[in-house]
Amino acid sequence: MRVTDEQARCKKGGIPIGNGFHFRKCSRAAVIDGYCKQHHPDTVQARRDASFKAYERKRERDPLNVALNQLAGARAERDALRANADALAKAVKALLVENRRVSIYADDKWRVARRRVEDALAAWREGK
Ligand SMILES: [Zn+2]
């Protein structure tokens, strides 16, 4: 609704006219806090938020963005697998070291036992 009385008009100014070198004030009646319904800061912010949400929804569906997200997911999965592989390699290395330690111990026990048997056999042969 056009209003001529300056006090009753919307506070919004800086609206470009024509080629954008000239500006005018909003010509609608002030309805809330000195602004018309369209230029009230709350309405403006709500419109910006809705626009940004629409932009984000559009961006989420964008094939390039979907592909980039999949790539990022694949990279994270790869890094997790690498970390897992490193942990497994460490565990295997520890097991090999433990196995070698046990096998040296077992060889030693076996050598001692064999020597005892050979000594016992030698003693028996001498005593025969
Ligand atoms: Zn206005």
**52 alpha carbon – ligand 1 mean position (Å):** 22
pLDDT band at 1 (very low <50, low <70, confident <90, very high): low
Span 20-57, pLDDT tens digits: 788 999 999 999 999 999 999 999 999 999 999 999 99
Residue 29 β-bridge partners: 9
Q: For 66-108, how does the pLDDT look when each residue is reduced to its tens digit (9 = 90+)? A: 999 999 999 999 999 999 999 999 999 999 999 999 999 999 9
CB atoms within 10 A of CB 10: 22
Supply the pTM of this predicted model: 0.48
Sorting pLDDT into bands at 50, 70 and 90, what band is 123? very high
53 C-alpha to ligand 1 centroid (Å) = 24
Residue 12: burial class (beta carbons within 10 Å; 0-12, 13-18, 19+): buried
Give the tokens for residue 27: 């010509």
CA distances from 82 to 69, 86, 91 (A): 20, 6, 14
